[in-house]
Amino acid sequence: MPQIVVLPHPTFCPEGTVIDAPSGQSICDALLNHDIEIEHACEKSCACTTCHLVVREGFASLNELDEKEEDLLDMAWGLEATSRLSCQAILGQEDLVVEIPKYTINHASENH
């Protein structure tokens, strides 16, 4: 069972943490199952970027990005080469280190 090291985030995980999660589960579900309330405005349907995170270690062990995820990531705040939508990133066998960006783009909750 791989471990996910979650780097400190001021809102979702101020101290950082290490969690165990089964291979085949999405990173988003693993975080939510361990009370790390990462945003997921589209209910994990790959229709927004609120669950965006950066995989600092273990990126190659995740499933490949599909075209829809790649297109959405282009709109994510703080995009990096190892960015993923946590609802689409499926755990493999290797441990991960992830960072939840400081900001997200949540069009549903922003005031216009």
CB within 8 A of 70, min separation 6: which ones?
Answer: none
pTM: 0.90
Pairing status of strand 96-99 against strand 3-6: parallel
Q: Which amino acid is at 83?
A: S
Whether 112 is in a domain gets the answer: no
- Percent with pLDDT over 90 in the chain: 87
Q: How far apart are CA 2 and CA 27, in angstroms?
A: 11
pLDDT digits (tens, 9 = 90+) for 14-31: 999 999 999 999 999 999
Residue 10 is encoded by which pair of tokens?
């001021």
Q: Which domain holds residue 50?
A: 3-99
Question: Domain tally for the chain?
Answer: 1
pLDDT digits (tens, 9 = 90+) for 64-92: 999 999 999 999 989 999 999 999 999 99
Give the CATH number of the domain where residue 51 resides: 3.10.20.30
Whether 107 is in a domain gets the answer: no
Whether 108 is in a domain gets the answer: no
